[in-house]
């Protein structure tokens, strides 16, 4: 039993190290986003092997979000490399582009998403950002998206350690975990809805 556990932990650690090395040497922003999700899944494996019941509350939503992100980013990569012809066009409507309604509606959705928090809040906030970008146009800034995704992952891991070592501050850890998941979902769903769209417009 212990041998199988040690083997599994060793394999996950090796996978995480390989992912971090690839992340350090990769220069293409989209590839780095894909590698970031692969590293995330390996890190979740480490937490699952080392953690307790407290870790389970973080692993399940994190794994769900991570797999969804990886699938979405993989589809973006397929589109980027022209492996499948799936044109993406913005809302080229002059009235919408010049009106203030999209900004107001987008701000409302983002604020409401922050109030909801967690996975649902991230989806609502992302919907607001996607609507704003689609109606007003956008400029690709994958470095900012990558940074936000990394920060949200760090906040999520911080919440896990607070749960483990400072359980008396469970409410702060819960809020950090919720905010981390919200940012991750918001960033990746916004990316899925907007990135590479101008090339097919």
Below-70 pLDDT ranges, the chain: 1-4, 50-75, 77-78, 81-102, 117-120, 122-123, 133-146, 185-186, 188-201
At 2 the three-state DSSP class reads helix
State residue 199's pLDDT score. Answer: 46
Answer yes or no: are the C-beta atoms of 66 and 40 closer than 8 Å. Answer: yes
Give the model confidence (pLDDT) of 71-130 as tens digits: 666 667 667 766 655 554 554 544 444 555 667 777 777 787 777 765 567 667 777 777
Selection from 48, 84, 89, 86 nearest residue 66 by Cα: 48
At residue 35, the pLDDT reads 79
Where along the chain do its domains lie? Answer: 2-200
Q: Give the predicted TM-score (pTM) of the model.
A: 0.40
């Amino acid at each position: 039993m212990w041998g199988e556990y040690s083997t599994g932990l060793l394999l996950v650690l090796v996978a995480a190290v390989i992912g971090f090395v690839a992340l350090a040497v990769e220069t293409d922003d989209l590839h780095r986003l894909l590698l970031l999700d692969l590293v995330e899944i390996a890190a979740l494996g480490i937490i699952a092997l080392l953690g307790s019941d407290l870790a389970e509350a973080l692993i399940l939503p994190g794994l769900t979000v991570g797999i969804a992100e990886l699938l979405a980013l993989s589809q973006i990569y397929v589109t980027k490399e022209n492996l499948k012809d799936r044109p993406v066009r913005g809302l080229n409507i002059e009235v919408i582009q010049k009106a203030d309604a999209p900004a107001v509606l987008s701000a409302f959705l983002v604020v409401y998403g922050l109030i909801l928090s967690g996975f649902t809040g991230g989806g609502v906030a992302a919907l607001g950002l996607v609507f704003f970008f689609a109606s007003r146009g956008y400029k690709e800034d994958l470095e900012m998206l990558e940074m936000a995704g990394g920060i949200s992952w760090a906040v999520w891991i911080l919440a896990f350690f607070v749960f483990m070592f400072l359980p008396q501050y469970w409410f702060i850890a819960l809020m950090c975990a919720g905010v981390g998941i919200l940012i991750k979902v918001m960033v990746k769903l916004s990316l899925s809805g907007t990135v590479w769209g101008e090339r097919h417009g």
